[in-house]
Structure 1
């Protein structure tokens, strides 16, 4: 009878060990997510200074007092809730400045979405005002489909959209709705 009981115990222990062995899986990512909600940032950083370079040359520099890190999402991004200032440098190292009350940087697409009271001051003192502006870091391109006002030396041009390279050599107001010529 002792032999029979040992046989049953051995079988039970074997079944238990095999069950434990097959129930184990690689759950490292699940362990990392414990305590982190998918809707919460995984980090908050203060006094941020992000630089985007191309071949060792700084092309853009994003500065903000606070950003939220959502790199734990399927489509990761960084959110700048307290505003952001973006400096864009051309090949001659001339600086244009974009200021906004809110911004999001999408890391997969290298797209910066600037929103709320967006103001661009170009290196040659042209001024664009709009509610939203996108900056494509890869193509070094700025654009929007929102209403804009664009002030040059001679005119203030109003329209529904804007398209330009980062040098502003081919800046174009889309769907022009009005032009005011400035007097000297």
Structure 2
């Protein structure tokens, strides 16, 4: 065998090994390559003037409005952040509208929870008003709740308490650990 033939054979083997190494190393890094330029702490997208509607049997039962939404669906536990607040319209079966407004909100898709924070105000379809600093809306169970202090104003009373629990239509509303004065019928 001559030197040229040995050199060409070694060169061919090196090229094949190099190509195989490159091929297999690229396959493992595909996800990393997709994330180039996207910081793990940054949203994957930003949307403005959001108008999300949820329907049940062809009828709108929830309508969420927000001026700015940050999309963190690239996280292990994805969420959507509304830093400028939201307005959530909740419709009952008779199409009566209750309104929940907050200065900040986070929507967790996996759990169906909406975490409303900072100056949360609920105005029910019959005129009752609840004020608190944090409130959860469970879309799956259609339930509203909190364990922080609340003020619930009805036509007759102002009720203070350390929590609130209700169905989404506010027909089964309960202020927990009541600390205010309540009028009772005889």
Fold match by TM threshold 0.5: yes
**1:63: how far off?**
0.5
Partners in 1 of 2:128 and 2:150 — Cα distance? Answer: 13
Matched length? 181
**1:164: how far off?**
0.3
More strand by share: 1
Give matches, 1:65-104, under 5 Å.
65-104=67-106
Match of 2:136 in 1: 134
Moved over 4 A (4+): none
**1:26: how far off?**
5.2
Partners in 2 of 1:20 and 1:47 — Cα distance? Answer: 46
**1:82: how far off?**
0.7
Moved more, 62-71 or 49-58: 49-58
| Coordinate RMSD, CA, aligned | 1.4
Q: What TM-score do you get using the length of structure 1 for normalisation?
A: 0.93
Cα deviations by residue, 1:93-122 (Å, 9 ceiling, x for unpaired): 110001111111111111101111111000
**1:160: how far off?**
0.2
Match of 2:60 in 1: 58
**Residues 1:4 and 2:14 aligned together:** no
Partners in 1 of 2:138 and 2:67 — Cα distance? Answer: 22
Q: What TM-score do you get using the length of structure 2 for normalisation?
A: 0.92
Cα deviations by residue, 1:44-98 (Å, 9 ceiling, x for unpaired): 1111111122232212111011111111111111111111111001111110001
Question: Aligned match of 2:40 in 38, 41, 44?
Answer: 38
**1:11: how far off?**
2.1
Partners in 1 of 2:101 and 2:181 — Cα distance? Answer: 24
| Unmatched segments (≥5 aa) in structure 2 | none
**1:19: how far off?**
2.0
